């Protein structure tokens, strides 16, 4: 299959909408990461997503809508007060809510669960595509399973060339990390995947929030997570990643030592560090993660892809604090490292 890459335009969106209606896949920009979309109400189309990504069939997808009114047909209840408050404050935006599902949603989307994940994205091209398709669009991130999520159309092409007919190019994604996934089926909203909508913000909107403790640790043997996505080692660079955490100077000297040891063992090490810390690593090979947690959110997936492209086989990364969007950054980095985190003093 030939993969076409078209800049976002009215005719491109119309063509993409037509492809979705015909059951084909289209990659499209959102404010978080690029999505790989199919008609959410067509089980055969949705199965093509799993094939193109090589995604395990038990990991459910997010249904994307372009207006709040479209929610009712996908869910099987009135949204709770907390859900309403979150929708009012954070939609359109980088937030996904988990509701009891309606029967209109095929099993292929929910992986057989009795809940469905729904998001109203802010990116105008994403919303225009949903409107053009005249259907909700099921879309995971547009990477091959296990690769970092794509934040540019070029990343999508790297992973999906020859597998899908069309990629809409809307430039780099604004947030750079996937949406916050919040379970609103119970009393207090529970964060299953941290993202741009932070726990602090959720607490301010709803008066309370729980963060699932599996967000910052590996799953135990045989443990059934609240969100199937927690099971998989996402965002994995080809090289082994170690995160070094602690006081700034101690971190720099530990990373230098680990880097030099790896080099001595004939490896090709690489450092990921905050911009302002780069001088501490001298002539060692290092990439910038930006200057704070927000920039890191924006850069991290692209840098993990760069690390692969450079053939790095031992990666050492600095950490950031888990306040605000830092929690989402450390969740993605932690999982890329299979939670191999070294603390230094
Ligand atoms: O920002 C985003 O959310 C992007 C863009 C394209 O919208 N999409 C995205 O999709 O990141 P994906 O498939 O890569 O991640 C969806 C996550 C997975 O971890 C999945 O397990 C979880 O949401 N999920 C989906 N449905 C669920 C459900 N019913 N209950 C619990 N977790 C669910
Ligand atoms: Mg994904």
37 CB less than 6 Å from ligand 1?
no
Alpha helices in the chain (DSSP H): 10-21, 43-53, 81-90, 107-110, 124-133, 153-160, 199-206, 248-264, 293-309, 326-336
Instruction: Give the residue whose CA is nearest to atom 10 of ligand 1.
Output: 140
What pLDDT does 311 receive? 96
Q: How far is the CA of 178 from the centre of ligand 2 (A)?
A: 7
For 144-174, what is each residue's pLDDT tens digit?
998 899 999 999 999 999 999 999 999 999 9
202 token code pair: 């959720």
Start-to-end Cα distance in the chain: 54
CA of 180 to the centre of ligand 1 (A): 9
Q: Which two tokens stand for residue 152?
A: 């540019």
pLDDT in tens, 1-43: 999 999 999 999 999 999 999 999 999 999 999 999 999 999 9
Contact 202, 196 (CB under 8 A): no
pLDDT given for residue 195 in this prediction? 97
d(CA 35, CA 26): 8
Task: Tell me which residue of 199, 110, 86, 94 sits closest to 151, measured CA to CA.
Answer: 94
Q: Which ligand 1 atom lies nearest to the CA of residue 116? A: 29
Q: Which atom of ligand 1 is nearest to the CA of 232?
A: 19
Which of 227, 230, 233, 328 has most ligand 1 atoms within 8 Å of its beta carbon, as the pocket-test mutant?
227
Residue 218, pLDDT above cutoff 90: no
Q: What pLDDT is stored for residue 237 in this prediction?
A: 82
Q: Compute the distance from residue 235 Cα to the ligand 2 centre, in Å.
A: 8
CB atoms within 10 A of CB 187: 10
Q: Which of 54, 100, 108, 141 to mutate to test the pocket of ligand 1 (most atoms within 8 A of CB)?
A: 141
The residue nearest atom 15 of ligand 1, judged by CA position, is 140
For the cut 70, the answer to whether the pLDDT of residue 234 exceeds it is: no
Candidate from 215-224, 271-280, 333-342 with smallest mean pLDDT: 215-224
Under a CB-based contact definition with an 8 Å cutoff, are residues 25 and 137 in contact?
no
206 burial type by CB count under 10 A (0-12 exposed, 13-18 middle, 19+ buried): buried
Set out the domains of the chain in order of their start, with CATH numbers. 4-216 (3.90.870.10), 240-344 (3.40.50.11030)
CA-proximal residue: ligand 1, atom 21 (nearest): 229
Distance CA 152, CA 232 (A): 23
Dig out the tokens for 324 from the structure.
Answer: 């605000």
Question: Taking 90 as the threshold, does the pLDDT of residue 216 lie above it?
Answer: no
Looking from the CA of residue 177, the nearest atom of ligand 1 is 1
Q: Exposure string (b/e) for 136-161, b if CB count within 10 Å is 16 or more?
A: bbbbbbbbebebbbbbbbebbbbbbe
The CA 88 to ligand 1 mean position distance, Å, reads: 21
Query: Which of 225-229, 284-288, 330-334 has the lowest average pLDDT?
Result: 225-229
Beta bridge partners of 315: 241, 270
Exposure on the CB side of residue 333, measured as CA atoms within 13 A: 30
Average pLDDT, the chain: 96
- pLDDT band of 133, cuts 50, 70, 90: very high
| DSSP H helical ranges for 134-284 | 153-160, 199-206, 248-264
Ligand 1 neighbourhood includes 143 CB (under 6 angstroms): no
Amino acid 231: pLDDT: 76
- Residue 233: band (very low, low, confident or very high) from pLDDT cuts 50, 70, 90: low
The answer to whether 100 and 92 have CB atoms below 8 angstroms apart is no
- Residues 238-270 have pLDDT tens digits of 889 999 999 999 999 999 999 999 999 999 999
Is pLDDT at 228 greater than 90 in this prediction?
A: no
DSSP letter (8 states) at residue 228? G
Q: How big, in percent rounded to 5, are the helix, strand and coil portions of the chain?
A: 35, 20, 45
pLDDT confidence band for 177 (50 / 70 / 90): very high
What per-residue confidence (pLDDT) applies to 180? 98
Asked if 315 and 239 count as a contact pair (C-beta separation under 8 A), the reply is yes
Residue 152 Cβ inside 6 Å of ligand 1? The answer reads no
Question: Exposed, middle or buried, 249 (CB in 10 Å: 0-12/13-18/19+)?
Answer: exposed
The encoded tokens of residue 179 equal: 């949406």
């Amino acid at each position: 299959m030939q993969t076409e890459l078209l800049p976002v335009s009215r005719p491109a969106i119309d063509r993409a909408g037509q492809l979705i209606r015909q059951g084909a896949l289209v990659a499209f920009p959102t404010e978080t990461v690029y999505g790989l979309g199919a008609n959410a109400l067509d089980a055969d189309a949705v199965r093509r997503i799993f094939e193109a990504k090589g995604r395990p069939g038990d990991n459910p997808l997010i249904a994307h809508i372009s207006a709040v009114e479209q929610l009712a047909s996908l869910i099987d209840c009135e949204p709770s007060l907390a859900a309403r408050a979150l929708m009012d404050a954070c939609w359109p935006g980088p937030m996904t809510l988990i509701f009891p599902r309606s029967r209109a949603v095929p099993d292929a989307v929910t992986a057989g669960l009795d809940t469905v994940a729904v998001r109203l994205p802010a990116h105008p091209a994403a919303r225009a595509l949903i409107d053009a398709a005249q259907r909700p669009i099921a879309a995971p991130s547009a990477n091959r399973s296990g690769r970092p999520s794509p934040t540019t159309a070029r990343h999508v092409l790297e992973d999906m060339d020859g597998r899908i007919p069309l990629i809409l190019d809307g430039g780099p994604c604004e947030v750079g990390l996937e949406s916050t996934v919040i379970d609103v089926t119970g009393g207090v909203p529970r964060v299953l995947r941290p993202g741009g909508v932070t726990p602090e913000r959720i607490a301010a909107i709803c008066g309370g929030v729980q963060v699932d403790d599996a967000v910052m640790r590996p799953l135990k043997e045989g443990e059934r997570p609240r969100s199937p996505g927690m099971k998989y080692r996402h965002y994995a660079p080809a090289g082994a990643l170690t995160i070094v955490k602690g006081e700034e100077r101690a971190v720099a000297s530990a990373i230098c030592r680990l880097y030099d040891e790896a080099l001595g063992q004939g490896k090709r090490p690489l450092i990921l560090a905050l911009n302002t810390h780069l001088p501490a690593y001298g002539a060692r090979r290092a990439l910038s993660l930006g200057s704070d947690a927000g920039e890191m959110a924006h850069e991290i997936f692209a840098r993990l892809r760069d690390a692969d492209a450079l053939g790095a086989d031992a990666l050492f990364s600095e950490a950031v604090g888990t306040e605000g969007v830092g929690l989402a950054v450390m969740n993605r980095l932690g999982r890329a490292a299979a939670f191999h985190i070294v603390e230094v003093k």
